Structure 1
Amino acid sequence: MPKSLFWARTDTAGSEHVVFDDGAGLGAQGVVLAVDPIPYTCRYRLTVGPDWATSRLEVEAEGAGWQRSVRLEPAGDRWRVTAAEQGDLDAALRAAGHPAAGLPGLDDPDRLAGAVDVDLGGSPLFNTLPVRRLGLAPAATTTSPPGAAEPGAAHRITVAWVQVPSLMVLPAEQVYTALGPGRVRFASETFTTELDVDPGGWVLRYPGLAERIAPR
């Protein structure tokens, strides 16, 4: 049976709702809504293999007068990145007093060499991908080496980071550290936070970004 999760944003007005099946890897469809830097709707479709490595991500973002899309697929040792744009997001950003976002996608896919996971800006769902793949959650079923989830065990990874709403794709270095049951430290460059996760590795609380809301 499909499952669903819902998060309320705590950094701005917004939310995320995802419907998924994690019986063998992950198949997910989600919607992210936010008003910052300008109001937008972001829809994604994600496919992850039984080893929890990403096999496909499709993202569409749209707002008043603009629409963008990007698709990422691993292709051997490289990533295939396809992007499109209609309208003018940069004009909408400038009208709201924000700098231009740049083009969607990635000019040189070779920059993603070594990336196994993807990360969608503003979405706590995507933190679950490395948590599960690295075996940092009790319910994780991976081929992680023994001790991967012991407190203090740190894992440095490269991800394909999709910025929202621009859908620009960048390589990003991230570190996930097991802190004990239900706690994982997440770090990227100078940013560090501690995630609360459930036994399945799904984020309950991402300080400064989102909190999960249980259905009533």
Structure 2
Amino acid sequence: MPKSLFWTRTDTAGSEHVVLDDREGLTAQGVALAVDPIPYTCRYRLTIARDWSTNRLEVEADGAGWARSVRLERGRDGWRVRTGEEGDLDAALRAAGHPPAGLPGTDDPERLAEALDVDLGGSPLTNTLPIRRIGLGRLPADLATSVTVAWVLLPGLTVVPSEQVYTSLGPGRVRFASGTFSAELQVDPDGFVVRYPGLAERADPR
């Protein structure tokens, strides 16, 4: 049976709900909402291979007066990136006192060549992808593993490569680090995030 996971954002007003099947790789459909930097709704569809490398991520984001989309597909010849845009997100951001987001997608997909995983900004679900792919739960504690991900920023859907480090800290605990940022994640036995300090907490059925 498919699983249903729900997170409440702790850094801003927002939430994420995803329905997924992880019996052979992962297929997932989710919706994320947040008010920062401006109110937006994000809908995504994610397809992960049996080895837990990413095959495809499709994302749509919209708000008042704008809508954007990006589709990432990874094949033998690298990543393919397709984008769409309606309205003016940058005007909405400037009106709210924020810098512009720039264009969706990337002008050079080859920059993503080393990425086997995707990271959707603000989504605890996508932390599970490298955790499962590298088998972090089976690795010795304190053994750090570096990964390259295709990081999709929200709400603008710009895609950039990002170097991240995952370290097992023992059962149910994972250290995530990127640049100068780090956080100790609490995960369930399947590697799905239960608590991401400063970002989100999962609301499990009672």
Give the TM-score category using the shorter length: over 0.9
**Local SS of the residue matching 1:156:** strand
TM alignment of 1:80-159, pairs within 5 A: 80-137=80-137, 149-159=139-149
Once residues 190 and 66 of structure 1 are traced to their aligned partners in structure 2, the CA distance between those partners, rounded to angstroms, is 33
RMSD of equivalent CA atoms: 0.8
Aligned to 2:190, what secondary structure does the other structure show?
coil
TM-superposed deviation, 1:92: 0.3
Q: What is residue 40 of structure 2 aligned with on the other side?
A: 40
Distance 1:103 1:160 in 2: 16
Note the 1:167-178 alignment, pairs <5 A: 167-178=157-168
2:193 to 176, 191, 203: 203
Residues 61-76 of structure 1 mapped to structure 2, 5 A cutoff:
61-76=61-76
Matched letter for residue 200 of structure 2 = A
SS of alignment partner, residue 99 of structure 1? coil
- Cα distance in 2 between the residues matched to 1:186 and 1:149: 15
For residue 16 of structure 1, what is the amino acid of its counterpart? E
Contact in 2 for aligned 1:68/1:86 (Cα 8 Å) = yes
Runs of 4+ in 1 over 4 A off after TM superposition: none
Q: In the aligned structure 1, how far is the partner of 2:139 from the partner of 2:194?
A: 18
Find the aligned partners of 1:45 and 1:3 in 2 and give their Cα distance.
Answer: 15
Contact 1:49–1:55 (CA under 8 A) maintained in structure 2: yes
5+ residue gaps, structure 2, are none
Unaligned runs of 5+ in 1: 138-147
Identical-residue share of aligned pairs (%) = 73
TM-fit CA distance, 1:56: 0.4
**TM-score, structure 2 normalization:** 0.98
**What CA distance in whole angstroms lies between the structure 2 residues aligned with 1:129 and 1:178?**
14
Which residue in 2 is equivalent to 1:50? 50
The answer on whether the counterparts of 1:29 and 1:44 sit within 8 Å (CA) in structure 2 is: yes
Tell me how far 1:75 sits from its aligned partner.
2.3
Displacement of 1:214 in angstroms is: 1.0
Query: Separation in 2 of the partners of 1:48 and 1:35?
Result: 29
TM-score by length of 1: 0.94
Q: How many pairs were matched up?
A: 206
Q: CA deviation at 1:77?
A: 4.2
**Separation in 1, partners of 2:147, 2:24:** 23
* Partner SS state of residue 111, structure 1: helix
Inter-partner Cα distance in structure 1 for 2:200 and 2:140? 26
CA displacement, residues 114-154 of structure 1 (integer Å, 9 cap, x when unaligned): 100000000000000000001123xxxxxxxxxx5210111
Q: Is the 8 A contact 1:149 1:180 kept in 2?
A: no
Q: Distance in 2 between matches of 1:187 and 1:78?
A: 25
> Residues 80 and 43 of structure 1: is their aligned pair in 2 closer, same or farther, counting only changes over 3 Å?
same
Within 2, Cα distance between the matches of 1:123 and 1:129? 11
2:55 and 2:75 in contact (8 A); partners too: no
1:2 positional shift: 1.0
Partner in structure 2 of residue 184 of structure 1: 174
